[in-house]
A and B are shown apart, each in its own frame.
Chain A
């Protein structure tokens, strides 16, 4: 069917015509990594809720101190990366499902992807900044 309008016979094999279309773009990769980030967040979100609840009512110095403790800083960094990755994956599917004007769809996908990268980078910058403030106030 793909030779309609060309007046020529399409010599490509069926797999060659399917490549790059539909799920042929990335196979099950998107679906699988969405599950990977889901499982990671299933572990990280309860920990994150516990951390935030423990910080209620704390002053700025305490908040910074808690955030900059090694394992807290490590898991917080992991949390923001995986969270923004998961947000990008989820919003991508929502846009694919509901936005049917091609240029708006592409523009939204770009905006979401770039926004998530900026969000993750800003979070990592903050975590590093907080750790350095705390380290600079500690006399070793």
Chain B
């Protein structure tokens, strides 16, 4: 269809004479919690995939015992090991809580924009609360 005069809009430029829907461009898009939650869900998912490798490594060390187990536990108890574990627990709790949010959307619940923003902030806050609770529960018995 040839471009009609009505199709010209403020979005039209000499290069793009016809106005077509633009995909959101990150540099000019106003920040919203939804975009951060969405990309974090993917980022934490990929991080947790790496963490799963760590879990297998630990299980193998428990099965092998002896020096492998001592080395694994020494690494986990080291500052870098604890740092990884802290990141891993944060990512796990976040992905789990935001996953509940996704499942509720799939069930058709919470689609209104105020609800989406509220559930997003709830996940953000609860991630830190639950992660702190896990570390508090682990602390008294821990060697760390």
The interface of chain A, by Cβ under 8 A from chain B, is 35, 38-39, 41-42, 45-46, 49, 53, 56-57, 60, 63-64, 67, 80, 83-84, 87, 90-91, 94, 119, 122-123, 125-127, 129-130, 133
Contact A87 B52, CB 8 Å, known A56-B142, A57-B142: yes
Residue B96 lies at the interface, judged by CB distance under 8 Å to chain A: yes
CA gap between A84 and B59 in the complex, in Å: 15
- Chain B residue nearest in CB terms to A76: B59
| Residue of B49, B69, B99, B134 most packed against chain A (CB within 10 A) | B49
| Residue of A49, A80, A94 most packed against chain B (CB within 10 A) | A49
Q: How far is the CB of A117 from chain B (nearest CB, A)?
A: 12
Q: How far is the CB of A28 from chain B (nearest CB, A)?
A: 11
Residue B55 lies at the interface, judged by CB distance under 8 Å to chain A: yes
Contact of B49 among A63, A90, A125 (CB under 8 A): A90
The interface of chain B, by Cβ under 8 A from chain A, is 42, 45-46, 48-49, 52-53, 55-56, 59-60, 62-63, 65, 69, 92, 96, 99-100, 102-103, 106, 134, 137-138, 141-143
Contacts of A123 in B (CB 8 A): 55-56, 59
A119–B96 touching, CB < 8 Å:
no
Contacts of A64 in B (CB 8 A): 62, 65
Cβ-Cβ contact count across A and B, 8 Å cutoff: 75
A57–B55 touching, CB < 8 Å:
no
Contact A53 B134, CB 8 Å, known A90-B49, A122-B60: yes
Contacts of A126 in B (CB 8 A): 56, 59-60, 62-63
Contacts of B137 in A (CB 8 A): 53
A45–B56 touching, CB < 8 Å:
no
Contacts of B99 in A (CB 8 A): 38, 41-42
B59–A127 touching, CB < 8 Å:
yes
